[in-house]
Amino acid sequence: MPRLQKPKDNKKTILFCVLTPLVCCLIYTVFCMLNLRGSVWFDESYSAYLARGDFGQIWHMTSLDVHPPFYYFLLKIWSVIFGYTDVSMRFMSVFFGALTIIFLFQLLKRWFGEKAAAVSTLFLSLSPMFIRYGQEMRMYTLVFLIVVLATYALDLALETKKTKFYVLYAILISLGMWTHYFTAIAWIAHIVYYKITKRSKIFEKKMLLTYVGAVALFVPWMPSLFRQFLEVESGFWIPALSIMTPIDYTTQSFIFGEVTKGGVTLLTGLVVLVAFTSLVYVTRKVYQEIKKSEKPKLLFLIALIIFPPLILMIISIPPLTSMFVDRYIIYSASLVWALIGLTIFLGIKYRKKFNFTPLVLLAVFSPISAVIGIINVETRESEGAVQEIVYDVRAMAEDGEPILANNEWTYYDAVFYSTDQHPIYGMRPWINFQYGSIFPIDILRYHLYDSVEELTSGADKFWYITDVKENATSLEEYELPAEIPSDYRVVSEVSTPKHIAFKFEKDTSSKNS
Q: What is the pTM of this model?
A: 0.93
**Per-residue pLDDT band at 236 (split at 50, 70, 90):** low
Average pLDDT over residues 82-89: 96
CB 503 within 8 A of CB 461: yes
Task: Assign 125 to helix, strand or coil.
Answer: coil
Q: Measure the N-to-C terminal CA separation of the chain; round to a whole number of Å.
A: 107
Mean pLDDT for 1-26 is: 77
d(CA 100, CA 108): 12
Residue 2 has pLDDT above 50, yes or no: no
> Using alpha carbons only, what angle is made at residue 409 by residues 406 and 414, rounded to the nearest 5 degrees?
75
What is the per-residue pLDDT across 176-192, written as a single tens digit (0 to 9) for each? 999 999 999 999 888 88
pLDDT at 6 over 80: no
Beta bridge partners of 448: 426
10 vs 373, more confident: 373
Q: Cα–Cα distance between 12 and 30 in angstroms, integer?
A: 26
User: Which residues have a Cβ under 8 Å from the Cβ of 2 and sit 6 or more positions away?
Assistant: none
Indicate if the pLDDT at residue 202 is higher than 80.
no
Confidence of residue 1 (pLDDT cuts 50, 70, 90): very low
pLDDT the model gives residue 512: 46
**Bridge partners for 502 per DSSP:** 464, 493
Q: What is the pLDDT of residue 513?
A: 41
* Band (194; pLDDT cuts 50, 70, 90): confident
Return the DSSP state at 250. Answer: H
Mean pLDDT over all residues of the chain?
Answer: 92
Helices and strands per DSSP (H, E), number in the chain: 22, 6
pLDDT at 434 over 60: yes
414 with 463: CB under 8 angstroms?
A: no
**Domain range annotation of the chain:** 8-232+245-254+272-379, 386-512
CA atoms within 13 A on the CB side of 309: 22
The CATH number that domain 386-512 falls under is 3.40.50
